[in-house]
């Protein structure tokens, strides 16, 4: 989780988006991607 907040620090390239990005958003995206990957690997539907 700490890495997500470090990634969102001011001056990082992540801030080149047209909307604000927070450490919490990055953390949740990583957790979601991991869950999706596990479902795909298990042969389950993603959605």
Let me know if residue 15 belongs to a domain: no
pLDDT at residue number 17 = 87
**Domain of 32?**
1-10+20-47
CA distance 21 to 10: 10
Q: Which residue has the higher pLDDT, 47 or 6?
A: 6
For residue 32, tell me if it sits in a domain. yes
Domain assignment of residue 35, yes or no? yes
36 located within any domain: yes
In a domain, 24, yes or no: yes
The answer to whether position 44 is within a domain reads: yes
Global pTM? 0.79
Domain count, the chain: 1
- The pLDDT of residue 35 is 96
User: d(Cα 30, Cα 37) in Å, to the nearest integer?
Assistant: 11
Whether 26 is covered by a domain: the verdict is yes
């Amino acid at each position: 989780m700490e890495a997500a907040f470090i990634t969102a620090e001011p001056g990082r390239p992540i801030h080149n988006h047209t909307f604000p990005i927070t450490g919490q958003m990055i953390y949740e995206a990583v957790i979601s991607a991991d869950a999706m990957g596990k479902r795909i690997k298990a042969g389950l539907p993603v959605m």
